[in-house]
């Protein structure tokens, strides 16, 4: 693992962030500048809701641009993933020891985590428990709701 500022992304995640940054800089920022100009033209700025809204949107856009630029400076691409043991970038099939239920998760960086797509953060309790283990290993996951055991049944 690198420093704590490292942002782990798949190539798809990196492309998505670059596209979002491009949209913010080349589309949303210019639209916002135009909205501010138009609101200024309406006159008194002290009671101008359009102007206030455009300025607030400007702050949100600029903050997100800054956040994305910082993330892109510290990005580490998840590539050449080994399937010998669990690590970031792997898709892991597990079986819960208590009830024989099975699940499959892709371990990604926290920026790409999406539980609805079964993408879990490398910082999550289950990912942390699975790291460096192999198919057939039974590991204990210490979650906020208590500990439970899972068996690794597949690593892709």
Q: pLDDT tens digits for 5-19? A: 889 998 989 999 999
What average pLDDT does the segment 46-55 reach?
A: 88
CATH of the domain at 47: 1.10.287.180
What is this structure's pTM? 0.75
Domain final residue pick, 77, 100, 134: 77
- Residue 5 has a pLDDT of 81
Residue 58 domain boundaries: 7-77
Q: Same structural domain for residues 29 and 66?
A: yes
Specify whether the CB–CB gap between 129 and 141 falls below 8 A.
yes
β-strand pairing of 91-96 with 102-108:
antiparallel
Structurally, how many domains does the chain consist of? Answer: 2
Q: With beta carbons less than 8 A apart as the criterion, state whether 80 and 87 touch.
A: no
Task: Determine the average pLDDT of the residues in 38-60.
Answer: 88
Q: What is the pLDDT of residues 106-118, one digit of tens each?
A: 999 988 999 999 9
Do residues 19 and 72 both lie within one domain?
A: yes
- Would residue 71 count as lying in a domain? yes
| Tens-place pLDDT, residues 89-134 | 999 999 999 998 999 999 999 889 999 999 999 999 999 999 999 9
User: Per the domain annotation, does 85 fall within a domain?
Assistant: no
Using CA atoms, how far apart are residues 49 and 51, in angstroms rounded to an integer?
5
The model's pLDDT over 69-87, given as tens digits with 9 standing for 90+, comes to: 999 999 999 888 889 999 9
């Amino acid at each position: 693992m690198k420093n704590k500022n490292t942002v782990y992304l798949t190539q798809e995640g990196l492309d998505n962030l670059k596209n979002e940054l491009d949209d913010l800089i080349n589309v949303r920022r210019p639209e916002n500048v135009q909205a501010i100009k138009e609101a200024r033209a309406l006159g008194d700025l002290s009671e101008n809701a359009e102007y206030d809204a455009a300025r607030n949107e400007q702050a949100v856009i600029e903050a997100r641009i800054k956040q994305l630029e910082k993330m892109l400076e510290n990005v580490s691409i998840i590539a050449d993933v080994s399937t010998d043991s669990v690590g970031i970038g792997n898709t892991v099939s597990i079986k819960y020891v208590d009830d024989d239920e099975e699940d499959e998760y892709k371990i990604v960086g926290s920026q790409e985590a999406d539980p609805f797509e079964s993408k879990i953060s490398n910082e999550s309790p289950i990912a942390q428990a699975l790291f460096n283990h192999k198919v057939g290993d039974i590991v204990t996951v210490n979650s906020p709701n208590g500990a439970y055991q899972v068996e690794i049944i597949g690593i892709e």
